[in-house]
Amino acid sequence: MKLDYFITYSKRKTLSMSVERDSSVVVRAPEGTPVEKIHKAVESRKLWLYQKINHKQKYPPCRQHKEFISGETITYLGRNYRLEVVNKAGTGIQFHSRFIIPRENQPKAARLFQQWYVERAKERISRRSKYFAESMGVTFNLVLVSNLKVRWGSCTPSSNLNFNWRILKAPTFVIDYIIVHELAHLIENNHTRRFWNIVSVQVPRWEQAKNWLREHGDLLEVDF
């Protein structure tokens, strides 16, 4: 059976492959790597790749979007908070142990909530990235928060850290795990024993965090 995959080249020294959340296979290879060598590497790990592709997390259940009415709950940092629609003028989202939105903003609530999450993700993730980078003795270039489609975070060859704004719905220890996971790639490209040792020093609950994403990651996929 033919296995389709995408190839990305960079100045990295080793070849690696992964299955993204949309079930696509991505091979990351050093610049100049012959296509034949990449194909042989993919063939040698085909069974592993098919197992990853067929993992239940790769196919999240049908998404149910919020109606943004009073009484609904919005997930933030691993907890559910009540949404209250008020008959008051205002802009944006307010959060005081519950989410508050003016009734006139209900039609654009999804966009406003995404903006709210992005702003807070930038602040929190930047702060935690600096903290862990100092602890790990590494440096990074930029922290970027966006609407990533296939992963929770990534580390680019230029040492930029990219994160999906949706991770702000997860518990704090899970967010820390995602941040440390990407910072660890500045030390070790592949998911070797050394890589996981680095992660475990910073996030002792990393296995619990990894399991949380495996079991609940599809909940983060729902925009709201």
CA distances from 82 to 39, 69, 100 (A): 51, 10, 9
Looking at the fold, whether 39 and 78 belong to one and the same domain comes out as no
Whether residue 188 is contained in a domain is answered as yes
**CATH number of the CATH domain containing 138:** 3.30.2010.10
pLDDT for 61? 47
Tally of structural domains, the chain: 2
Model pLDDT for residues 79-99, shown as the tens digit of each residue: 999 999 999 877 789 998 899
CA distances from 159 to 139, 151, 155, 178, 183 (A): 8, 17, 6, 15, 9
Contacts 24+ apart (CB under 8 A), 4-7: 5/42, 7/35, 7/38
Q: Helix axis angle, 193-202 relative to 206-221, nearest 10°?
A: 90
Reduced to 3 states, what is the DSSP secondary structure of residue 216? helix
Model pLDDT for residues 6-22, shown as the tens digit of each residue: 888 877 788 888 877 66
Looking at the fold, whether 99 and 162 belong to one and the same domain comes out as yes
What gap in Å lies between CA 168 and CA 117, rounded to an integer? 7
Looking at the fold, whether 101 and 211 belong to one and the same domain comes out as yes
Among 58, 82, 102, the domain-final residue is 58
Q: What is the span of the domain harbouring residue 152?
A: 73-221
Model pLDDT for residues 179-193, shown as the tens digit of each residue: 999 999 999 888 889
pLDDT for 58? 47
Looking at the fold, whether 176 and 129 belong to one and the same domain comes out as yes
Beta strands 143-146; 161-164: pairing state: parallel
> Which segments of the chain does DSSP mark as H helices, in order?
35-44, 46-53, 109-136, 172-184, 193-202, 206-221
Whether residue 142 is contained in a domain is answered as yes
pLDDT for 59? 43
Looking at the fold, whether 18 and 122 belong to one and the same domain comes out as no
Looking at the fold, whether 97 and 151 belong to one and the same domain comes out as yes
Q: Which of 28-32, 52-56, 115-119 has the highest mean pLDDT?
A: 115-119
* Reported confidence tier of residue 62, pLDDT bands at 50, 70, 90: very low
Whether residue 103 is contained in a domain is answered as yes
Q: What is the DSSP letter of 129?
A: H
